[in-house]
C-alpha cells in the first residue's frame, strides 16, 4: 500500500510538470507569435511612414542634385542654407528611423541615404563641387577670357570672375586689373546666364569712376551709378518727387553760423569751456614715456600750451603767442590760475640771487603775485609711491640715482625758501591721478589770503578765442566731420552714448561724453535747418533709400550688384546694399577694391 502511494505521488508530480511544460510552450509560442505580429505591424508602419515621406524626400534629393549640375552654375551658399532650412523638419522627423530590411523601392532607399548624406556633409559637397566647377569653367570660357578689353586675363582674374558666391570680395593692388575683372565678370555672366543690362546694378564711388566703368563695358543699356545717384533714384521712384539736395559747400559755413549763435547761450558756453579746459586733448603724464624726446614731441604734437598770451621776441620782432610750458600738468596748472583770476608768471627768476659757477639762477615753476607779496608754486613729478618718470635718468645714470637726485633738488628748494623766508606751496603728479590737485592748490592759496575769482564762461571763452582760434577752428572742422560720419553710418546719439558706456577708461568715457555734449546741439541745429529748407544731404539720401528698400516700397530686383572701389564703403552704404539683397537673397554681390587706395578712409 505504501509503495502504491509513492508511485501515485510521482505520477502526479510528473503529470504536473508535463502540464506546466505544455503551458510554458504554449505561452512562448503565443508570445513569439505576438512579437512577430508586433514586428510585422511595426515594419508595416515604417514602410507606410517612408511611403508617406517618399515624395518629399525624393523632391529634396532631386532639388539638391540640381545644385550639382554644372549647367546651373556655381553652388552658392544661399542655395544650401535655404535647402537646409526648408527640409530641417523633414530631417528631424526621419532622422531616427531605419530603412534596413524593409524592402523599400530602390529609388526611395537611395533617396533617403542621399538626403541624409546631404544634411550631414552638404557644405563639404558644395565646396568640392565649386572647386571642380571653377576649374572646368575657366577652360570652358577660355576664348572669352583671352579677349577682355583686348587683354588676356591672368589666372587669378579668371578665378575671381567664375567664382559666383552670394557675396564676393576681390582685393587687388593698384594696376592689377580690377576694373578689367569687373568688365570680364559682366561679359561672363551675359554669356553664361544670358543676363540683360537691367539685371545688373553697377556702382562706383565718384561720377568720374562710374562713367569710366560704364564706358569700359561699352554696351548700350549699361549704366554705372554712384551710391548717391542710386539713392536719389530710389527716393524719386518711390515718392514721385525728386528731393532737393543740400549744397555741401555751405555745410561748414552753416556750422560756423550756428556755433557762433550757440556761444551766446550761457548753458552751452559752460559745456564748451569745460570741454576746452578739461577734455580737448587726451592727457598723458611723464610717467607714460620712456624717453624725454618722445614726451617733448607729444607736447608739440598736441600743442600743450596754456591759454595765457605772452610776448615773444622772434628775430627782433615782438609777437603774441600762447605760453609754452614743460609738461601737461604744468599746462593745466597754468590754465587753472589764469581762469581763476590769479596773477602769475611762469618760470620767472627767484627774487634772491642763487646763480653759481655750477648752477643757473633758480626759476620756480610759478610765481604768484597776490596781496603785495609773492607765492612760489613748485610742481613735482612724483607718484604716490615717490617714483619719478623713467626718462629722468640721464645717460650713465641709474633710475635710483635719478630718483635720489630729483629728491635732493626738492629738498634744496624747500630749504632755500625756508632760509629766505619766502612762501613755497607744492603740487604733485599723483594729485592729478587721484583728482585732488586743484582742491589742494586752492586750500594752499587760501591759507595765504589768495581768494580765487573764477572768470565767467563768457570771459573764459573770450580768452580762449583770443589765444587759440586755431583750436576752435579745428574743433569746428572735427564737429563737421563727426556729423557727416555719424549720419553716413546711420548712428543716433543714443547709439553713441550706449557705445561710450562700454569704454573701460573712465577719463576717455568722460571725454567722449563731453564732446557729444558739444556736437549734439550743432547736429540738431543742422538737422532743423535741413528740415526748414525741405532738403536732404548725401547721408540722408543713402539712409532714406535703405529705409525705402527695407520697407519694400522699392521692389526692383537685381541679379547682380557690382561695386567698384569698395575700399571706400561706409556703414550707411553697406546697409543700403544689405537692404537690396534682403529683397531677394539670390542677388549676388561682387565687390572689388584695394584698402591701400582708400582716399575716403575717414568714412
470-489 pLDDT per residue, tens: 999 999 999 999 999 899 88
Least-confidence region, from 228-232, 255-259, 301-305: 301-305
pLDDT of residue 600: 55
pTM (two decimals): 0.75
pLDDT band (50, 70, 90) for residue 37: low
What pLDDT, on a 0 to 100 scale, did the predictor assign at position 457? 94
* pLDDT interval class at 98 (50, 70, 90): confident
pLDDT at 317 over 70: no
Give yes or no for residue 92 having a pLDDT over 80.
yes
Q: Taking the CA atoms of 164, 167, 172 and 174 in sequence, report the sign of the dihedral they define.
A: positive
Counting every residue, how long is the chain?
Answer: 603
603's CB contacts (< 8 A; 6+ apart) are 485, 488, 568, 569, 570
Q: What is the pLDDT of residue 34?
A: 63
Q: What is the pLDDT of residues 145-194, one digit of tens each?
A: 999 999 999 999 999 999 999 999 999 888 888 899 999 999 999 999 99
Q: Residue 111's pLDDT is what? A: 87
Interval 500-544: pLDDT, tens:
999 999 989 999 999 999 999 999 999 999 999 999 999 999 999
Under a CB-based contact definition with an 8 Å cutoff, are residues 476 and 255 in contact? yes
Does residue 389 sit in helix, strand or coil?
coil
Q: Does the pLDDT of residue 315 top 90, yes or no?
A: no
> Residue 47: which pLDDT band, with cuts at 50, 70 and 90?
confident
Determine the distance from the C-alpha atom of residue 476 to the mean position of all C-alpha atoms in its chain, rounded to a whole number. Answer: 24
Max mean pLDDT among 94-98, 241-245, 292-296 falls in: 241-245
Tell me the percentage of the chain whose pLDDT exceeds 90. 69
- Residue 26 confidence class, pLDDT cut points 50, 70, 90: confident
- 3 state SS of 152: coil
pLDDT at 1 over 90: no
**Residue range 367-409, pLDDT digits in tens:** 999 999 999 999 999 999 999 999 999 988 999 999 999 999 9
Between strands 343-346 and 317-324, the pairing is unpaired
Q: What is the mean pLDDT of residues 440-465?
A: 95
Amino acid at each position: 500500500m505504501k509503495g502504491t502511494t509513492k508511485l501515485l505521488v510521482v505520477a502526479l508530480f510528473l503529470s504536473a510538470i508535463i502540464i506546466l511544460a505544455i503551458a510554458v510552450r504554449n505561452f512562448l509560442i503565443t508570445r513569439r507569435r505576438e512579437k512577430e505580429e508586433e514586428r510585422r505591424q511595426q515594419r508595416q508602419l515604417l514602410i507606410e511612414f517612408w511611403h508617406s515621406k517618399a515624395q518629399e524626400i525624393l523632391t529634396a534629393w532631386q532639388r539638391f542634385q540640381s545644385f550639382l549640375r554644372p549647367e546651373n552654375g556655381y553652388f552658392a551658399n544661399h542655395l544650401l542654407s535655404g535647402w537646409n532650412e526648408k527640409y530641417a523638419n523633414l530631417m528631424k522627423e526621419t532622422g531616427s528611423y531605419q530603412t534596413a530590411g524593409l524592402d523599400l523601392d530602390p529609388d526611395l532607399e537611395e533617396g533617403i541615404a542621399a538626403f541624409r548624406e546631404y544634411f550631414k556633409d552638404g557644405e563639404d559637397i558644395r565646396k568640392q563641387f565649386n572647386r571642380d566647377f571653377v576649374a572646368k569653367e575657366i577652360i570652358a570660357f577660355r576664348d572669352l577670357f583671352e579677349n577682355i578689353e583686348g587683354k588676356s586675363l591672368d589666372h587669378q582674374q579668371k578665378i575671381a570672375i567664375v567664382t559666383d558666391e552670394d557675396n564676393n570680395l576681390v582685393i587687388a593692388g593698384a594696376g592689377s586689373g580690377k576694373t578689367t575683372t569687373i568688365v570680364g565678370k559682366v561679359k561672363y555672366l551675359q554669356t553664361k546666364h544670358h543676363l540683360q543690362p537691367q539685371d545688373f546694378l553697377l556702382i562706383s564711388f565718384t561720377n568720374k569712376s562710374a562713367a569710366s566703368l560704364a564706358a569700359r563695358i561699352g554696351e548700350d543699356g549699361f549704366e554705372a551709378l554712384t551710391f548717391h545717384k542710386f539713392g536719389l533714384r530710389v527716393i524719386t521712384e518711390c515718392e514721385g518727387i525728386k528731393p532737393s539736395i543740400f549744397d555741401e559747400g555751405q555745410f561748414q559755413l552753416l556750422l560756423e553760423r550756428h556755433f557762433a549763435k550757440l556761444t551766446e547761450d550761457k548753458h552751452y558756453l559752460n559745456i564748451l569751456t569745460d570741454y576746452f579746459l578739461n577734455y580737448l586733448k587726451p592727457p598723458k603724464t611723464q610717467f607714460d614715456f620712456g624717453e624725454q624726446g618722445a614726451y617733448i614731441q607729444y607736447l608739440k604734437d598736441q600743442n600743450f600750451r596754456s591759454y595765457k598770451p605772452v610776448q615773444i621776441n622772434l628775430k627782433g620782432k615782438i609777437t603774441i603767442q600762447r605760453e609754452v610750458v614743460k609738461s601737461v600738468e604744468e599746462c593745466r596748472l597754468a590754465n587753472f590760475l589764469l581762469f581763476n583770476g590769479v596773477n602769475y608768471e611762469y618760470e620767472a627768476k627767484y627774487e634772491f640771487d642763487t646763480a653759481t659757477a655750477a648752477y643757473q639762477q633758480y626759476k620756480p615753476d610759478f610765481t604768484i603775485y597776490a596781496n603785495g607779496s609773492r607765492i612760489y608754486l613748485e610742481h613735482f613729478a612724483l607718484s604716490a609711491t615717490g617714483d619719478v618718470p623713467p626718462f629722468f635718468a640721464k645717460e650713465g645714470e641709474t633710475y635710483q640715482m635719478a630718483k635720489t637726485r630729483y629728491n635732493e633738488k626738492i629738498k634744496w628748494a624747500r630749504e632755500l625758501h625756508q632760509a629766505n623766508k619766502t612762501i613755497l606751496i607744492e603740487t604733485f603728479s599723483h594729485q592729478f591721478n587721484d583728482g585732488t590737485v586743484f582742491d589742494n592748490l586752492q586750500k594752499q592759496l587760501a591759507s595765504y589770503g589768495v581768494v580765487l575769482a573764477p572768470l565767467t564762461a563768457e570771459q573764459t571763452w573770450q580768452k580762449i578765442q583770443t589765444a587759440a582760434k586755431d583750436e576752435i577752428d579745428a574743433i569746428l572742422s572735427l564737429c563737421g566731420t563727426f556729423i557727416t560720419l555719424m549720419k553716413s553710418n546711420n548712428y543716433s546719439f543714443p547709439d553713441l552714448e550706449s557705445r561710450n558706456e562700454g569704454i573701460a577708461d573712465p577719463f576717455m568715457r568722460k571725454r567722449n561724453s563731453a564732446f557729444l555734449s558739444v556736437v549734439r546741439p550743432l547736429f540738431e541745429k543742422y538737422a532743423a535747418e535741413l528740415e526748414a529748407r525741405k532738403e536732404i544731404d548725401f547721408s540722408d539720401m543713402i539712409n532714406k533709400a535703405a529705409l525705402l528698400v527695407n520697407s519694400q516700397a522699392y521692389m526692383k530686383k537685381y541679379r547682380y550688384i557690382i561695386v567698384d572701389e569698395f575700399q571706400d564703403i561706409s556703414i550707411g552704404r553697406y546697409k543700403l546694399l544689405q537692404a537690396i539683397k534682403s529683397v531677394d537673397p539670390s542677388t549676388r554681390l561682387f565687390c572689388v577694391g584695394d584698402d591701400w587706395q582708400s582716399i575716403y578712409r575717414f568714412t
